[in-house]
Amino acid sequence: MEYRVLGKTGIEVSCVGLGCWPMAGMAGGANWSGIDDDESIATIQHAESLGINLLDTANGYGAGHSEQIIGRALQGRRDRYVIATKVAPRSEDPVEPVQQYIARNCEGSLERLRTDYIDIYQLHGEPDEAGMPAIVEALTRLVEAGKIRCFGISTYETGIMEALMSLGNLSMAQIGYSIVNPVGQPGLEFAETHNLGTLIRVPLAQGALTGKYFDSLSRLDTKDRRHERFDNPRIRSALKKLSELAFLAESGKRTMVQAALRFVLDTPGVTSVIPGAKDRAQLEENAGADGVPPLTGDERARARAIGGAANWPLPPYTSWT
Ligand SMILES: NC(=O)c1ccc[n+]([C@@H]2O[C@H](COP(=O)([O-])OP(=O)(O)OC[C@H]3O[C@@H](n4cnc5c(N)ncnc54)[C@H](OP(=O)(O)O)[C@@H]3O)[C@@H](O)[C@H]2O)c1
């Protein structure tokens, strides 16, 4: 497994990480079907033997369930993992000062994760401009108190990254980017220029780029969060177009999943890709992306052209990429 340093932090992360949103399962309206908590715990523990040290979660995933699963899985092995979690950039309570809100939510995450520090603490979306100084101050205090090692933000907006950098030590950004989603490109270029670390979310377009839904959505549980999104003419037609990506796996040297992850890994500005995985078999295949042949220039261009022609729903029109 290749390890890359996250921006200026000195934190070394595996280039393939593990996105733990699906491990929220059906809890708190997360609605990821087919999740078994014991298998989730085994998957997180198996990551270590595959060289994967990076886990991404959020306090909101399954109302804390994803963090709780990580906390259970990492008993006695905390120091061998890098935990990235998130907090929404504003309080639900208009009266609560934002510093207090962030400190309180950090304590909640620490408790669920059963740890005394978070490696990477990310704002889960964009704060209002007026609230930024107080938020950065709160995050800086958490660094000084040793509760978090660094902080960053999940956003596509380079203007927001720049504004936060001017207020304090923003270390990283979480950005969406994949064969179907070029929206993160400016963010990656910005991150490369300013030596910000990046974690790349939704690299498999929530499973659409795995290949298993190209011909049919019948494998998708009707209770799954993606069922309503995918079961419509636009997505069916997109999946049909995306089936042309099968050429990426024709050599037998990489699977469709690994080609999609490799596409991301070889993009300048990318530190680590964080595909969600539901079990050990998926995790093993994802970890294998580290060792497969990179896409050639022609393959990348053809993949991008197919991804673009698929007309996949993208931000700012969707909030799930
Ligand atoms: N705003 C934010 O900050 C934000 C937003 C979204 C995501 N994220 C983070 O990014 C991570 C990744 O995004 P994501 O989980 O939404 O989507 P994703 O990584 O694009 O897709 C994950 C899904 O693809 C399928 N899959 C994964 N590996 C597979 C394999 N080897 N073979 C077959 N199927 C496989 C699984 O679902 P099925 O098997 O059911 O198809 C899995 O749940 C999240 O887990 C989360 O940590 C952050």
Helix (H, G, I), strand (E, B) or coil at 166: helix
Closest C-alpha residue for ligand 1 atom 32: 282
Domains located in the chain, CATH noted: 3-210+252-296 (3.20.20.100)
Pocket test for ligand 1, best of 160, 204, 283, 318 (most atoms within 8 A of CB): 204
One DSSP character per residue, 75-109 reads TTTGGG-EEEEEE-SS-SSTTS-HHHHHHHHHHHH
Contact 152, 123 (CB under 8 A): yes
DSSP conformational letter for 1: -
Q: Give the atom of ligand 1 at the shortest distance from the alpha carbon of 22.
A: 43
Residue 294, number of CB atoms within 10 A of its CB:
13
Q: What is the pTM of this model?
A: 0.97
Distance from the CA of 71 to the center of ligand 1, in angstroms?
A: 20
The amino acid sitting at 199 is: L
Pocket test for ligand 1, best of 13, 124, 210 (most atoms within 8 A of CB): 210
Residue 81, number of CB atoms within 10 A of its CB:
23
Task: Say how far apart CA 86 and CA 153 lie, in whole Å.
Answer: 8
Distance from the CA of 178 to the center of ligand 1, in angstroms?
A: 12
Q: Give the atom of ligand 1 at the shortest distance from the alpha carbon of 209.
A: 20
Distance from the CA of 280 to the center of ligand 1, in angstroms?
A: 14
Distance from the CA of 277 to the center of ligand 1, in angstroms?
A: 6
One DSSP character per residue, 262-302 reads HHHHTSTT--EE--B-SSHHHHHHHHGGGGSPPPPHHHHHH
Q: Give the atom of ligand 1 at the shortest distance from the alpha carbon of 58.
A: 47
Distance from the CA of 207 to the center of ligand 1, in angstroms?
A: 6
232: tokens are 């419509």
198: tokens are 């990046």
Beta bridge pairs of residue 96: none
Distance from the CA of 194 to the center of ligand 1, in angstroms?
A: 27
CA dihedral 71, 210, 284, 85 (to 10 degrees): -20
Task: Say how far apart CA 136 and CA 227 lie, in whole Å.
Answer: 38
Distance from the CA of 99 to the center of ligand 1, in angstroms?
A: 31
Ligand 1 neighbours, Cβ below 6 Å, are 19-22, 34, 56, 124, 154, 174, 201-207, 210, 212, 257, 274-278, 282, 285-286
Per-residue pLDDT of the chain (321 residues; tens, 9 = 90+): 999 999 999 999 999 999 999 999 999 999 999 999 999 999 999 999 999 999 999 999 999 999 999 999 999 999 999 999 999 999 889 899 999 999 999 999 999 999 999 999 999 999 999 999 999 999 999 999 999 999 999 999 999 999 999 999 999 999 999 999 999 999 999 999 999 999 999 999 999 999 999 998 888 899 999 998 898 999 999 999 999 999 999 999 999 999 999 999 999 999 999 999 999 999 999 999 999 999 999 999 999 999 999 999 998 777 676
Angle, CA of 11, 12 and 17, to the nearest 5°: 115
